[in-house]
Structure 1
C-alpha cells in the first residue's frame, strides 16, 4: 500500500504559508489577532464533520496562541517562553492556575528548567496583567526561536483498507509549533556560582511540614493551643505579634547550609517576626528573620540588629545561611531568595564555634526564649513551609560546560476538530563531548483543582483533562500511561489551596518514573515520550468516552482495522489450510495460529520459514491474512538473560527476560527476519513488555538500572512501529495503541470461558458493554471456545457445533451485533451446512452494516440476564446514522418501550427506521428523542437501523 500524501493545512485566516512539511519560522507581526469569542465553535465537534482548523494567533499583549476554536494554549515569549493559558473554549473554562517551567530536564545529574517565569503572587489563579511583572527564571534555559509546520506522521502506517470502513487521515490534520531553548551566559554563570554549591551537598534534613515530626520540641509563650500545628497544619503559627512560638531541634554537626522557606502571612511582628535562630554554647543566639511591621529582613548578631529592604508582606521567602570556614574562625553568610534559586547576599559576619540547635518560628528579637508567660499584640497567622539542612560537598563541582552545547525543543501539536493537544521534548548535543540525559519532565502543568477539600480524601475528583502518553505498558486500560509516566501530583508550592495538608491533585506531570539514562553523543539527538492532553467538555461518562474514542481514531487510526478472526488450534499444514478454506467460504478475513497450536516464529530453520511462507501464499490465494502467536515477557530464559530486579521487587509476570540482554536482542532479530522472509500479516504478541526494570550491568543494550526501562521500551516500540509500516496487524494484551497496536482484550477473564455456555452469553455482552466506554468496538477482542479452554468440559464448549447451534448463533449475534471480533478458537468454524449458513448469515450482517457497527457505542442498558439489554452504534457522518441492538435473554418474548436519544447520530426531527433490515418507516422525533416500542422473541435479538 502506498503511504498517504500529507495535505497542506489551511488555516482560519491568512497567515504565512507552509512550504510542504518543512518548519517555518513564525513571524509574530504577520499573525492574526486572537479573538476567543469569534473562534468558539458553534457546532458539536463529536457530531459535525466540519472540523475547525488549527492556527496560530497573537494577542494584543504580544503573546502567542495556538487554537482551533475548541481549545487554546497561550504562550508568553518574553522575557521567556511559558504557558500562561490553557482554555476550554467549549465551556469557557480557564484551566491553568499558575506558570510553570515548559519542561524540566536532568543532564549529568543536574536539574535544569526549560522556560518558565517567576514572581506570581499566588497559585490559585493567573491574571493576564500579572505576566508583564513576572521575570525569567535565572536558572532556566531561554527561548531563542519558534517555528511551525503541519503535523508529521510519527511513523509509517501501511494501512489495510479491506479491514477498515473509515479511511482516516494519517498523519492527522493540524499544526505543530516548536520552541527552541538554549542556555545564555548569565544562566551558565548562575549555575557555576550558586547551584553547583548546593546541588553537590549531602542532604541532611528536608522537612516540608506536611506532618509535624516528633523530632521538633515546640516552645510557646502563650495560651493558644497547637500554636506550631494550627488546626493540624504543621509549621503554621497562630499567635500574638509579640509572642514566642517555635520548633527547636539539635543541629547536625555536618551542617554547612541552612535554607528555610517561610511566609509571614498576617503576622505584624517586628523583632518577634518568624525566621531562623541558631543557638551557640554559652546561651548565645543568632537570628535571621522577617520583620513584617517594618517590611524588612532583619539579622541579629553579636548584640546588634541590621535591617534590609526588599520584603513584601504575604510572600514566601527562602532564608539561607551558609556556615563557611572552620567555625573556630569561620563566618556566616545570609542571603534571601523568592524562588529558591536566585539568592541575594544580605550580610556576611564572623562566627565563633558551631551552633548546637536550630529554632524556626517566632523567637524574641535576640533569637531566644521569652521569660514571660503571656504576650500581647494582634494575633497573626504565618507558616514555616520548609527546612533544608545541607552538609559537605559530595565531590568536585560539576562541570557545566555541557550547557553551552545543549539545545532543547518543546513541541506542541494541535489537531483540527478536537480539543486535543500533544506535547513532547527533543534534546540535541551540539558539542563534542557526550552527556547523559537522566530524565525529562515534558509536562509540569499547574491546573485549577477540580474540587476543594479541607481534609484528606480517599478519592479525589481530577481536573477535566484526559492525559495519555505513548510511553505506556503494564495495563489493559488507559492507566497504562499512569503506570509509566503520567501522574496527577500534589503541589507543595501551592500554599494557598484549601486542603490543609496541601494534598489537592492539581499538578499534571509527565515524566518516566524510573528515569531515562539516555546517552547523547556529539551531534546526537533524541525525543522524549509524547503526551496527549484531551480537554473534557462534560462530566457525562458517555460523552467523555466518545471523546477518548475519537482521540484514538485520530492519533492511532489503525485501531479502526477490524478483521474477522479465527484462531486455528493447530499449526500443521492440513488444519491451517482447512481453516483458511472455511474462512474464505463464510467471509472471515484472518487466521491466527493460536497459543498451543505449535506455531513457533523463533524457529529460524529454513524448513520452518519455507513452510510458513507457503502457508502465507496459500492464504493469500484465498484472500485470507495469516500469522501467529508469540510469548515474550512472562517466561524465564536464564540467569544471564532474565531481568535483574532491585531488592524486594519481582517481575510483573513472575518471570521475564530483559529485552536488552543477548537473548532479547536475538529474539527481535528473529521476529524481523520471520516477517521479512515469510510475509505474514499479523502477530499476536502475548506477555508484551510490561515495564520491568533491570539492574544488570552486563547486558549489551543498557548500562544499568537507570536506563533499563527506557531502552527496553524503545526496543519493543521500534519493532511495533516497524510492523505498522509493514501493514502487520498487532494483537497485544497491553495498551500499545499509540505505538502501533491494533487490538487488545475487550475485558475478558480466561476462566469465564470455562463456565456453562448459557452463562457465557450474558458475561460476553457484559464485557462488551463495559469494555466500550473507553474503546471503540474494533479496539477489543473477545473469546469463543469452540473447543475446551481452561477446563469446563462439554458444558463450556460449543463443539460439536451443529449440536449447539442456538448457542453458537447467539454468540455470533452478540459479537457481530456489537462490531466486536472474537478469537473463535478451534479446528473449524462449521461442521454442517446448517452451521455454515448461520456463521455466514452473521458475517454477512456485519459486512452489510460494517461502518456503523465499527462506530461508537452508546450504552442503553447493561446486560444482567433479568431483562433486555441494548447498545446503539452511532455514526453521524455515515449513510446509516445508527444501529440499535436489543437482546432478550429470557425464555419468553418481551414487549418493551425504550426511550432513545438519537443526538449522537446527528438526526433531528425525523428518522427512517428499518427493523431487522426490513422496510423503512418514517418516525417523527421530539428533537432527537423518541420512544421505541418493540417485541423481542425469547432468547433472541432485534436490530434497528436509523437513517436520514
Structure 2
C-alpha cells in the first residue's frame, strides 16, 4: 500500500511530517516517478511545472515571473513582480525583462497584470526555446560503488532571449535559462550574455534572479534575526565551508524599497531574494564571446519540519550531484614508502577495503612531475589496480606562502596576506595555472584514482594587477572560481574521486568533511568516540552519508599521545570497533589515518567482520538518515536509515554511552520507510517480530542496549 500526500493538512507528529492517506498525489519523498517536468504555453504565458512546483512567466509586453507556487502545500510564493534579471554592462545597469505599474507590492491581484507595462530601457523579450535538460558534467558512474538512480538529472530547460535595439548594447543578446526537474520541487536559473555587438564589452556585475517573497513575520520593530520563506536557495558558486550555509556567497535577502506598505516601520524587511556576486565579475567579453553566470537552485520546502526539509535537501544533492553518492571504503596511509604502500594495498584486499589515500604528511608531492616521481607512483598505482584497489593522494593548495609575486595581495595593504588562511597563492597567477597543469599531468600519467585537494579555492580576492590571468581585485574571485570549476569538472569526467574540504559538490566534488574540530582527535579515545558520533548526527542533516568524511587517528594527529591514538591496534580493539560501528553504521567513511589497518590476526578479524557487515547492508546504510536522538552521554542515542525502495526499508542503530545496560521502549518513526500497516523487525541476533504501525506511522520497539555498547535492528 502506497502512502498518498494529503495536500491540505500536513500534520507534524512526533517531530516528523506525517501525511494522511487519501486519493491525492503520492508523497514525492516516497515515490517521485509521477512528477514529470513540463514547459507549456497557457493563455499566452509560459508555465514551468512538474506537479510539485509551478512558475508562470508572462511574456507580453515583456517577460516577467507573475506566479511561483508550491503545489505540495498550495503556498503562493510571490507578492510582487521584479525584473527577471539585471546586468551591468560598461557601467550601465539594465533590467532584463520585468513589468512595472503595480499599485501595491504587498500582494498581487490577477486583474492588475494586463495593465502593466515594460520597464523603460529594459532588455526586451524576443523569443524562447524549450529543450531537454543537458548534462552539466558527464559522469559515467561505472567505476565504483554508488547509489545514484540516474547519472544525470532529467527535466526540461526554458531559454528566454532578450535584446535592446538601441544604444551601445545593440547586438548584445541576453538569455535567461530556467530548468525544472523531474520528481523534485526544484527550479534552476542562470544567465548567458552573447556579445554580437562587434566591439568589446565588460560585464561589471549581474543579478541572475530577483524574486519578491511575502514576509514570514511582520515585526514593527527590527528583530535580531529575520525568518525566511519556505525555500532553500544555493548556487554552484560555493566555497569557504563544509555546509551549504557556510559556503553560500551568492544568495542575498535584501530590502525592497518599492514595498512601502510593509509593517516594519523602517521598511527593513529582507523579503527580496537576489542571486548575485558580492564583487565582480568584471568580465571582459570580446565580440563573438559568451559569458555564463553561476547557476542558482531554488528548492521549495513543504514547511518547517526539520527532518522533512533535510530529506528534501539531500534529495536535491542526489539529483544534481549523483556522483556524491559514490562512497568507496578507504584508509589514509601516512607513508609513501613503496613496500609500505604495497603492504597497505594487500591489507585492503584482505579486509575488503577499496581505496588507499596517500595522506598529508606521507611524502607525496603531485607537483613533482619528474620522470622518476611519475614512474614510482605509476608503479604503485599499477600494483594497486592489479589487486582491485584504487590509489590516490593528497595535495595542498592554500595555507602556504609561495612568493610575493604569486600570493594573494591584500587590497588594503597592497602586500601578500589577508587571505582566509592568512597566506595563499593566487590561482589566477601563472604559478596557479601551472599548479593545476602539474596535477593534471601527474594524475593522468600515474593513473591515480583519487585527489584529496586541501584548499580548493576558498573565495579569496586578490588585488594584484600583475598576475597573468586576472586584471585586478574585482575579477579575481570570479576567474579563480572558473579555473577551479574547469579542473574539478575534468576530474569528474575522468572518474577521479575528489575529496575536498569545501562545498564544490555541484562542480564535481564527491566528499567534504562532516564538520569537526581537528584538535578534538587529540582527546582521549572515549571522548573522541562520543564527540565523533555527535559530529555524525549533526553533519548528516543536509549532507547524505556519502557526502562526508570523518576521522580516526590510528596514529597521533595533533597531539594527545598514547591516550588519543589507537596504535597499537590490538591493544585498543574496543575503541577501534566503536569507531567502525558508528562510522560504517552511519554510512560515513572515516580517514583511518595510520600505517596499517591491522597489526595482528585478532585485529584483522575485527576489521573483516565490520567491513563484511557494512557491505552486507551497504545499500540501506548509504540511504537517508533520520535523527532519533543526539548523543549526550547520559542516555541512549542513535539514528536510522530509511529507503522505501529496498527490501531492508530501515536500519536502526542505537548506542549506550553509560555504564549500565539500557532497557527501554522507544518510538521508531517509519513513515519514510514507506511501510503503512506493519513491520518485521529483526535484531542483531536475527530474532524477528512483527509490529503494528500506529496512526503516526510509528512502532514501539523494546530495546536492550548493553553498557558502553550498541544494538541494531533491520526493518522490513
TM surpasses 0.5: yes
- 1:842-853 pair list within 5 angstroms: 842-853=610-621
Distance 2:405 2:641 in 1: 51
1:633 deviation in Å? Answer: 1.5
Contact 1:160–1:561, Cα closer than 8 Å, also in 2: no
Tell me the equivalent position of 1:799: 567
1:606 paired residue among 363, 371, 385: 371
1:161 deviation in Å? Answer: 4.9
Contact 2:152–2:322, Cα closer than 8 Å, also in 1: no
Contact 1:140–1:183, Cα closer than 8 Å, also in 2: yes
Tell me the equivalent position of 1:714: 482
Tell me the equivalent position of 1:196: none
SS of 2:244 mapped into structure 1: coil
1:126 deviation in Å? Answer: 1.2
Distance 1:161 1:91 in 2: 40
Q: Does 1:521 align with 2:286?
A: yes
- 1:89-168 pair list within 5 angstroms: 89-164=71-146, 166-168=147-149
SS of 2:649 mapped into structure 1: strand
SS of 2:679 mapped into structure 1: strand
Tell me the equivalent position of 1:408: 174
Contact 1:917–1:945, Cα closer than 8 Å, also in 2: no
Distance 1:899 1:657 in 2: 53
User: Does the C-alpha gap of structure 1 residues 171 and 721 become closer, same or farther in structure 2, counting only changes over 3 Å?
Assistant: same
Tell me the equivalent position of 2:714: 945
Q: Does 1:55 align with 2:38?
A: yes
2:228 paired residue among 462, 467, 478: 462
1:496 deviation in Å? Answer: 1.1
2:47 paired residue among 65, 72, 84: 65
SS of 2:509 mapped into structure 1: coil
Q: Does 1:624 align with 2:369?
A: no
Q: Deviations over 1:566-608 (max 9, x none)?
A: 0001011111111111011111111100000101100111000
1:474 paired residue among 227, 240, 246: 240
Q: Does 1:491 align with 2:259?
A: no
Tell me the equivalent position of 2:154: 173
Instruction: Return the TM-score normalized by structure 2.
Output: 0.95
Q: Deviations over 1:371-426 (max 9, x none)?
A: xxxxxxxxxxxxxxxxxxxxxxxxxxxxx42x111001101001111110000001
Q: Deviations over 1:475-531 (max 9, x none)?
A: 11102453x211111112211111111111101111111111111112111210000
- 1:573-592 pair list within 5 angstroms: 573-592=338-357
Q: Does 1:934 align with 2:703?
A: yes
1:893 deviation in Å? Answer: 1.4
Tell me the equivalent position of 2:15: none
Tell me the equivalent position of 1:44: 27
Which has the higher Rg, Structure 1 or Structure 2? 1
Distance 1:734 1:160 in 2: 25
1:97 deviation in Å? Answer: 0.9
SS of 1:685 mapped into structure 2: strand
1:160 deviation in Å? Answer: 4.3
SS of 2:572 mapped into structure 1: helix
Contact 1:721–1:740, Cα closer than 8 Å, also in 2: yes
SS of 1:720 mapped into structure 2: helix
1:155 deviation in Å? Answer: 1.8
1:159 deviation in Å? Answer: 2.0
1:795 deviation in Å? Answer: 0.3
Tell me the equivalent position of 1:893: 661
Tell me the equivalent position of 2:362: 597
Tell me the equivalent position of 1:869: 637
User: Does the C-alpha gap of structure 1 residues 587 and 889 become closer, same or farther in structure 2, counting only changes over 3 Å?
Assistant: same
SS of 2:478 mapped into structure 1: helix
Distance 2:152 2:40 in 1: 23
Q: Deviations over 1:225-255 (max 9, x none)?
A: xxxxxxxxxxxxxxxxxxxxxxxxxxxxxxx
Q: Deviations over 1:90-120 (max 9, x none)?
A: 1111111111111100111110110000001
1:41 deviation in Å? Answer: 6.6
Q: Deviations over 1:544-583 (max 9, x none)?
A: 1111000000001111001111000101111111111101
Distance 1:443 1:75 in 2: 13
Q: Deviations over 1:17-73 (max 9, x none)?
A: xxxxxxxxxxxxxxxxxxxxxxx971111111423111123334x222110011100
Distance 1:879 1:430 in 2: 57
Tell me the equivalent position of 2:3: none
Distance 2:559 2:381 in 1: 32
User: Does the C-alpha gap of structure 1 residues 183 and 504 become closer, same or farther in structure 2, counting only changes over 3 Å?
Assistant: same
Distance 1:667 1:160 in 2: 29
1:711 deviation in Å? Answer: 0.3
SS of 2:304 mapped into structure 1: coil
Q: Does 1:449 align with 2:431?
A: no
SS of 1:836 mapped into structure 2: helix
Distance 2:34 2:243 in 1: 28
1:742 paired residue among 489, 510, 518: 510
1:917 deviation in Å? Answer: 5.9
Contact 1:151–1:173, Cα closer than 8 Å, also in 2: yes
Contact 2:463–2:476, Cα closer than 8 Å, also in 1: yes
Tell me the equivalent position of 2:670: 902
Contact 2:28–2:183, Cα closer than 8 Å, also in 1: yes
1:918 deviation in Å? Answer: 1.0
1:696 deviation in Å? Answer: 1.2
Distance 1:450 1:612 in 2: 57
User: Does the C-alpha gap of structure 1 residues 163 and 435 become closer, same or farther in structure 2, counting only changes over 3 Å?
Assistant: same
Tell me the equivalent position of 1:501: 266
Contact 2:328–2:354, Cα closer than 8 Å, also in 1: yes
1:430 paired residue among 196, 200, 205: 196
Tell me the equivalent position of 1:841: 609
Tell me the equivalent position of 1:27: none
SS of 2:316 mapped into structure 1: helix
SS of 1:162 mapped into structure 2: coil
Contact 1:153–1:170, Cα closer than 8 Å, also in 2: no
Instruction: Return the TM-score normalized by structure 1.
Output: 0.72
Tell me the equivalent position of 2:451: 683
Contact 1:41–1:70, Cα closer than 8 Å, also in 2: no
1:912 deviation in Å? Answer: 1.4
Distance 2:148 2:312 in 1: 19
Where do 5+ consecutive residues of structure 1 fail to align? 1-39, 189-399
Distance 2:348 2:142 in 1: 18
- 1:255-404 pair list within 5 angstroms: 400-401=167-168, 403-404=169-170
1:431 deviation in Å? Answer: 2.6
Contact 1:68–1:417, Cα closer than 8 Å, also in 2: yes
SS of 2:457 mapped into structure 1: coil
Tell me the equivalent position of 2:8: none
SS of 1:97 mapped into structure 2: coil
Tell me the equivalent position of 2:380: 615
1:919 deviation in Å? Answer: 4.3
Tell me the equivalent position of 1:779: 547
Distance 2:619 2:589 in 1: 14
2:531 paired residue among 763, 771, 791: 763
Distance 1:544 1:768 in 2: 18
Q: Does 1:541 align with 2:306?
A: yes
Contact 1:151–1:171, Cα closer than 8 Å, also in 2: no
SS of 1:575 mapped into structure 2: helix
